[in-house]
């Protein structure tokens, strides 16, 4: 049903474009070449969003993986843990998860990688969870490599997470072109798959990762990232998936078009649905959402929840539900990413579990960090 409706909407968009092109020819105007998929209309995006119900879930990596590569590579892919932990997500009432991929997995063995993606989607589907895949990521270590990943640095937040692509490709525009096979290959494989909710093209592409990696980042990273993002948007539009595409704004002032950064402006102008990150308390969340309303499209928060700074389930999640803003908190089961520790663990030494977890919801055995918090999530997700 979802696949059929999606394809019908896509055909309608093509017919509308064809009509527009014909009108151009009839009036004597010179038209462009072959028809290509365009950004969804606001009406199509709203119709899609209405069909989904309220989206609530988390950013997911199994507790046994330190990063995207460890999650997906053959020797460390862990379907048993994934199945168990997605069962816990289903129990909480989560209906979607956001999951990171990596270009090096395609380079390593494209066929085997997409087969593991298929296996992952089968597991998620059994738990009635749909997946938003993230294709590229500008955050944390800029020098990724395949094979065995390093062990977590004790008590340090995301000590092994890696960027996709790495800095060597990002700073070399001709090498960026080689990513086309990965982007088109993955999206083509799942372009009609009802289990895939949406495509998040590039996570925080201009993040300079201060203080952890700032000295190793290209000086002109925002410019390089914008150039690559424009290519990725074009490549994905050529594939024309029936899922929406998005790239989420995450920093800066979004209150007016004049105050947006060049990359923020492009993200908002290119996305079918609007996504954003906000780790602030409720007033900041409210301000962020209201600043994005002017775009007239569905709004989804793809990263939130950092307890010590006031971004908590209790404070934020009821408001997001009330205003029909999709909600993906960061983290789920505490594990090798060590995101129970705060961002400042890169500068401040921690020797034991912090008294207040930064991210994550459950311990590795499935017991909650905070039982009252879990009951709140269940109640809100169930419609309470």
**CATH code of residue 106:** 3.20.20.80
Residue at 158 is within a domain? yes
The whole-number pLDDT of residue 101 equals 99
| Alpha-carbon span 77 to 108, nearest angstrom | 14
Q: For residue 126, is it left (φ>0), alpha (ψ between -120 and 50) or beta?
A: alpha
The total of structural domains in the chain comes to 1
Q: What is the dihedral of CA 68, 70, 74, 79, to 10 degrees?
A: -80
Residue at 1 is within a domain? no
Residue at 315 is within a domain? yes
Q: What is the mean pLDDT of each run of 10 residues along the chain (384 residues)?
A: 49 43 37 66 98 98 98 98 98 98 98 98 98 99 98 98 98 96 98 98 97 95 98 98 98 97 98 98 98 98 98 98 98 98 97 97 98 98 86
Residue at 145 is within a domain? yes
Question: Pairing mode, if any, of strands 274-277 and 245-246?
Answer: unpaired
The whole-number pLDDT of residue 20 equals 38
| Alpha-carbon span 194 to 143, nearest angstrom | 34
Residue at 309 is within a domain? yes
Residue at 12 is within a domain? no
The whole-number pLDDT of residue 37 equals 87
Nearest to 139 by CA among 260, 227, 221, 261: 221
The whole-number pLDDT of residue 383 equals 86
The whole-number pLDDT of residue 7 equals 55
Residue at 38 is within a domain? no
Residue at 33 is within a domain? no
Nearest to 353 by CA among 366, 365, 341, 362: 341
| Domain encompassing residue 100 | 52-381
Q: Which residues contact 200 (CB under 8 A, 6 or more apart)?
A: 98, 132, 133, 134, 135, 245, 246, 247, 248, 275, 302
């Amino acid at each position: 049903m979802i696949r059929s409706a999606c394809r019908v909407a896509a055909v309608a968009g093509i017919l509308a474009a064809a009509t527009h092109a014909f009108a151009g020819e009839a009036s004597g105007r010179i038209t462009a070449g072959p028809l290509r998929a365009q950004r969804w209309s606001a009406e199509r995006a709203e119709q899609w969003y209405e069909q989904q119900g309220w989206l609530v879930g988390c950013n997911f990596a199994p507790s046994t993986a330190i990063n995207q590569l460890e999650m997906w590579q053959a020797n460390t892919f862990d379907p048993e843990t994934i199945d168990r932990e997605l069962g816990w997500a289903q129990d909480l009432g989560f209906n979607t998860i956001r999951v990171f991929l990596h270009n090096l997995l395609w380079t390593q063995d494209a066929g085997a990688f997409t087969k593991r993606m298929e296996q992952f989607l089968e597991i998620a589907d059994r738990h009635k969870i749909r997946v938003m895949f993230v294709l590229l990521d500008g955050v944390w270590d800029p020098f990724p490599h395949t094979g065995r990943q390093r062990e977590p640095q004790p008590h340090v937040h995301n000590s092994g997470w890696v960027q996709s692509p790495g800095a060597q490709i990002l700073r070399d525009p001709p090498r960026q072109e080689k990513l086309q096979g990965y982007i088109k290959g993955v999206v083509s494989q799942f372009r009609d798959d009802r289990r895939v909710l949406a495509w998040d093209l590039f996570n925080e592409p201009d993040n300079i990762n201060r203080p952890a990696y700032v000295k190793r980042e290209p000086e002109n990273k925002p410019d390089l990232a914008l150039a690559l993002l424009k290519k990725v948007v074009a490549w994905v539009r050529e594939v024309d998936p029936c899922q929406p595409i998005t790239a989420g704004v995450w920093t800066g002032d979004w209150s007016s078009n004049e105050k947006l950064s060049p990359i923020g402006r492009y993200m908002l102008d290119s996305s079918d649905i609007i996504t954003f990150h906000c780790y602030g308390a409720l007033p900041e969340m409210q301000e962020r959402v209201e600043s994005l309303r002017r775009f007239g499209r569905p709004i989804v928060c793809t990263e939130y929840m950092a307890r010590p700074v006031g971004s908590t389930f209790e404070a934020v999640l009821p408001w997001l539900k009330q205003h029909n803003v999709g909600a993906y908190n960061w983290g789920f089961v505490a594990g090798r990413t060590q995101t129970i520790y705060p961002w400042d663990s890169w500068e401040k030494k921690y020797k034991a579990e912090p008294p207040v977890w930064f991210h994550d919801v459950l311990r590795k055995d499935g017991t909650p960090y905070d039982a009252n918090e879990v009951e709140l999530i269940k109640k809100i997700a169930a419609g309470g």
